[in-house]
Amino acid sequence: MSGRRSKPDYELDEVLGVRDPEQFKAVGDPTRHRIIILLSEKAATTSQLAEALERPKGSVGHHLKVLEDAGLIRVVRTRQVRAMTEKYYGRTARFFDFGDPEGRMPEKEFIVDFFRQVMDEYEGPDPDGEFSDLQALRHARIPASEAREFQKRVAKLAEEFDGMESVAGERVYGFLYQVYLTDLPEIPEEY
């Protein structure tokens, strides 16, 4: 299935460069990370998010405030419900670019938090058994230029994955990739 995923039911920028430490801190919390993901589909109220996340409204409200203060979400519309104004929150951008403008990677702690969030949301093997090898960890001793080229190819697959049409009622699958430099040493030659 190709084509672009339909945008959420509100206007948003295509890309937001995430550079401020407060923004990194805001997305470092698993609940806030999940809120950001949920808001990529459509705008939602505090009550709707609390129900989806099975969290108290006060707790979700706190997380929304942190995300809003960091510039990652905003109120995209309101509606009057009796004497109260109900706020609908949405992301400020479709994609958050966590890279450094000079091409450097984010701090190691951020990467570790990122992978911890993935592990927190990982549900386990596909219940239908359709995927037998969902993950792979591989290493290759290659020049940096080849690693960059491979990263670009994998990034294109990620774009294709993100462009798939969302289907209401279906489960959400994640796509994780990273080509990274390791600290693995080389075995010395025999004497």
DSSP structure string for the chain = --SPPPPPSS--EEEEE--SHHHHHHHTSHHHHHHHHHTTT--B-HHHHHHHHT--HHHHHHHHHHHHHTTSEEEEEEEEETTEEEEEEEESEEEEE-S-TTSPPPPHHHHHHHHHHHHHH---S-TT---S-----------HHHHHHHHHHHHHHHHHHHTSPP-TTSPP-----------PPPPPPP-
For residue range 66-90, what is the model confidence (pLDDT) as tens digits? 999 999 999 999 999 888 899 999 9
Q: What is the pLDDT, as a whole number, of residue 4?
A: 42
Task: List the domain boundaries for the chain.
Answer: 13-127
| Domain range 13-127, CATH class | mainly alpha
pTM of the model: 0.67
pLDDT band of residue 3 (cuts 50, 70, 90) is very low
Average pLDDT over residues 98-121: 65
